[in-house]
Amino acid sequence: MAALTSITRYKLRKVLKYMLVTLGAAAVLTLFSGNSGRSYLGAWALLGLWTGVLEEFLFGRRFRSLAIPLQFLGKVLAVNALTLALVALAFAFDRQQNLPLRSEGTFSAAEMFGMSQFYRLMLRVVVVTSIAILVVQLEELMGRRMFLGFLLGRYEKPVAEERVVLSIDLVGSTALAEKLGDLRYYRFLNTTYSLMTDALLRNEGEIHKYVGDEVIFTWPMETGLRGQNCLDLYFDIMERIDAHADEMQREFGAVPKFRGAVHGGRVIVAQIGHIKRAIDLSGDVMNSVSRMLGVCKDMKADLLVSSELLGRIPQASERFKFTAESVVPVKGRRREVRVQAVERVER
């Protein structure tokens, strides 16, 4: 049996998240309503799965062009309209449904739509699905690590972690911004970042932050080294952009090109700020990656990787070709970073 791809695992995890959040919200509402409701937990779980399947496989990116509040409202309305239609359709085929409306006897469709219990049930469905969509959308907006970090308070105090960091920077960004103008340049960046999604999921990466036209990706050390994810991501992104080059050229008159730098090691992760909070990465690795990215142009390299990180993935030479070592001095660091340019010879 073939192993699940990273993209498939992501989709399944998202559907599972909807189910768990829906179950949690329904359990809390049931508890405060004074009803036991245990016999209907399975129905709430199915509602969560239904919501997740609709969101991931039917809606897809149909709401992405809207503002975030409108995305939320559109999804809530669409999910609940389809849920109500499904209930009505099921009832039309079998009028002896075991619905939590009346304890005894059956009833017709006309009677069902006239019951106050039906509307209370639908209100509860709307509230539960709204909570599920809101929580999952917030988690996507903030990123899983940041979202869980805030919920669990993990990063209230600085934490040292072993992580891999990849930073990529748009080539010729200043000239592109002048050519396209502010609004078109923003759309250009947003379209480019959207194209990166499949490559990011395939290589199990996380987006730490966007810094203008620079994107910083990160992995826990084990995940980043597994299958050479930290090296493949850059090349998969460029392949994805190349596959849509004609579309980008038609719409913007330009095709994005990025340079990148990869390094790994001990990173300090902590929550910063008071009024505006964020989870940030700092330390020697971040300084080194920034310096490596700065010398990519001078070295005429598309991607640089530190020799220190390469020492942890000796099998990388089977699919990648590396140049001889070069020394990059890093401001504030007692020793230099040894780097090598990378090319992928086998996908």
User: Under CATH, which number does the domain 145-344 receive?
Assistant: 3.30.70.1230
Q: What percent of the chain has pLDDT over 70?
A: 80
Q: In the chain, which residues fall in CATH 3.30.70.1230?
A: 145-344
Number of helical (H) and strand (E) elements in the chain, helices listed first:
14, 9
pLDDT digits (tens, 9 = 90+) for 190-205: 899 989 988 998 898 8
pLDDT tens-digit series, residues 87-96: 767 666 655 5
Contacts of 303 (CB under 8 A, 6+ apart): 231, 234, 235, 259, 260, 261, 262, 296, 341, 342
Helix, strand, coil percent content, the chain, rounded in steps of 5? 60, 20, 25
pLDDT digits (tens, 9 = 90+) for 41-87: 777 888 888 888 888 777 766 776 666 677 778 888 888 888 877 77
The CB density around residue 122, as the number of other CB atoms within 10 Å, is: 14
Burial class (CB in 10 A: 0-12, 13-18, 19+), 49: middle
